[in-house]
A = this chain, B = another copy of it.
């Protein structure tokens, strides 16, 4: 008799019909003899509606009140889910953040979980009830309602699974699982049956949007097996777990991210501390930086210039570029860069795989594949288990398909998964 945590996201809660469907999933698991705890998100669209109302009233509404407002979305979902389970013959009760209780710090709108009291929910499931817990929300020391910020319900689910010592945390979503790459770009993309936390982290942060990074980090920290699966199908999805369980493959998936713009600081003085100055200054200007690449320095770049100079490339979110351009230029001037150049017509393509650690040549193979398709690499960045290249955005789909084929990730070409 396992303890199973099941999380249903906004699209799984999008209508009475879908809520009934989710309730049936929970009941089926319960009837198999398992203890079941359900975590729910707000109905799709609900939270946005509330936040729009607040924005009508104030340009910058108080974070504490925004959380009290936003948390109602999950409160509605948890009550409706409990009602749907009861209507199908189950016993069920809803628990809010302050009832369970999920203690967080008081960083409203982006609170972090400090402790979870599992007593009442454990008691409920031990008595045969299906406990339904409102995701995304908690409560601070003073009893004020907090929310966990982006991806909060995934994080709630994993944290609660950890607190309860659950055997698995099932994340129900509108796709069949995690894919070797985006099936919309590459029809031969295959569902991955098992993937390690580390690979999932790289895939999540590199643009595969199935699981929020924060929840994967938490799952890794507490060793919670996460099963990403479809709300609309009974098929097994992708199990995210420790690498030890995995068949060793060299490359697990190909990810891409169209959301970044490239910034190039040309001719930065190559002295100790200058690069630190740059990124400290950017942080002070609230510029959030992703990839950072520094090339080796070249002497005497300009005529009569005797200092060692180097080029520094970094990426920022495309949506932030206009807002932070002035700040970036100012930092460039302050740190003595010869020029600052921008390019938002780029894409980051990455191959990810634990196997890279022991298999040489993955990066070389990636570069060769791109070269064979006449795709120019603008910048390269690597970690232990991923290689990322910035390329022109027009080559994105071509590069993804070429790498997916080149690393032999594909299965037979199948229909698109349900819900995409």
Contact = CB atoms under 8 A, between A and B. Distances in A.
Contacts of A76: 50, 53, 69, 72
A298 B86 CA distance: 55
Contacts of A84: 57-58
A324 B62 CA distance: 51
Number of copies: 2
Nearest to A144: B99
A249 interface: no
Interface stretch (A4-12, A90-98, A287-295, A345-353): A90-98
Interface in A59-117: 59, 61-62, 64-66, 68-69, 71-72, 75-76, 78-80, 82-84, 86-87, 93-94, 96, 98-99
A20 B57 contact: yes
A96 to B, nearest CB: 7
Contacts of A65: 79-80, 82-83, 86, 93-94
Nearest to A82: B65
Contact of A54 (B54, B75, B83): B83
A54 B96 CA distance: 18
A16 interface: yes
A96 B68 CA distance: 9
A56 interface: yes
A346 to B, nearest CB: 40
A50 B77 CA distance: 10
A58 B86 contact: yes
A interface, over-half SS: helix
B143 A98 contact: yes
Given A20-B57, A79-B65, A83-B61, A143 B99 contact: yes
Given A19-B57, A20-B57, A58-B86, A78 B68 contact: yes
Contacts of A80: 53-54, 57, 65, 69
Interface in A36-60: 50, 53-54, 56-59
A64 B94 CA distance: 9
A397 B54 CA distance: 45
B68 A79 contact: yes
Contacts of A57: 16, 19-20, 80, 83-84, 87
A64 B83 CA distance: 10
Contacts of A144: 99
Nearest to A53: B80
Q: Which residue, A57, A78, A98, has most C-beta atoms of chain B within 10 A?
A: A57
A59 B58 CA distance: 40
Interface string A134-155: 0000000001110000000000
Contacts of A53: 16, 76, 80
Nearest to A61: B83
A86 B61 contact: yes
A247 B298 CA distance: 97
Nearest to A62: B86
Contacts of A54: 79-80, 83
A75 B68 CA distance: 7
A68 B56 contact: no
Q: What 10 pairs between A and B have smallest CB-CB spacing? A: A58-B87, A72-B72, A69-B79, A16-B56, A68-B79, A65-B79, A61-B83, A57-B84, A65-B82, A65-B83
Interface of A: 16, 19-20, 50, 53-54, 56-59, 61-62, 64-66, 68-69, 71-72, 75-76, 78-80, 82-84, 86-87, 93-94, 96, 98-99, 143-145
